[in-house]
Amino acid sequence: ETGVTQTPRHLVMGMTNKKSLKCEQHLGHNAMYWYKQSAKKPLELMFVYNFKEQTENNSVPSRFSPECPNSSHLFLHLHTLQPEDSALYLCASSLTGTANTEAFFGQGTRLTVV
């Protein structure tokens, strides 16, 4: 148990569907992150939230829409995805948004777009 919980663990969706990924952290952290992990590629940072404010959008397509209602919860809303968006989506949190603190990851959501 890492203290960062992601749901669902697996998701299959069609290209016209709308779905949401959820992340919750129980560590009292103030920064939360979304990463994408595709086969044979390093983890790619997507979004950063620090004290509920989005501080980084790493040129992510608009079909991915993040939401951070409070410091403990993070969502990733998905719509009209493409098959190449199939990947493991990982949520992480850290104590602060500065880089010198360790980030702890959830178990990920394995997304398949058909």
Contacts (Cβ under 8 Å, ≥6 apart) of 25: 3, 4, 5, 32, 72, 74, 91, 93, 104, 106
- DSSP SS3 for 73: strand
- DSSP SS3 for 110: strand
Instruction: Please tell me whether residue 22 binds other proteins under the rule CB under 8 A.
Output: no
Rule CB under 8 A: choose which of 13, 60, 95, 103 binds other proteins: 103
Instruction: Please tell me whether residue 100 binds other proteins under the rule CB under 8 A.
Output: yes
Q: Which of residues 39-78 bind other proteins (CB under 8 A)?
A: 40-43, 45, 48, 50, 55-56, 58
Q: How many residues bind other proteins (CB under 8 A)?
A: 31
Instruction: Please tell me whether residue 104 binds other proteins under the rule CB under 8 A.
Output: yes
Closest among 5, 98, 105, 101 to 50, alpha carbons compared = 98
Q: What is d(CA 93, CA 42) in angstroms, rounded to the nearest whole number?
A: 18
Q: Which residues bind other proteins (CB under 8 A)?
A: 2, 4, 6, 31, 33, 35, 40-43, 45, 48, 50, 55-56, 58, 88, 90, 92, 97-100, 102-108, 110
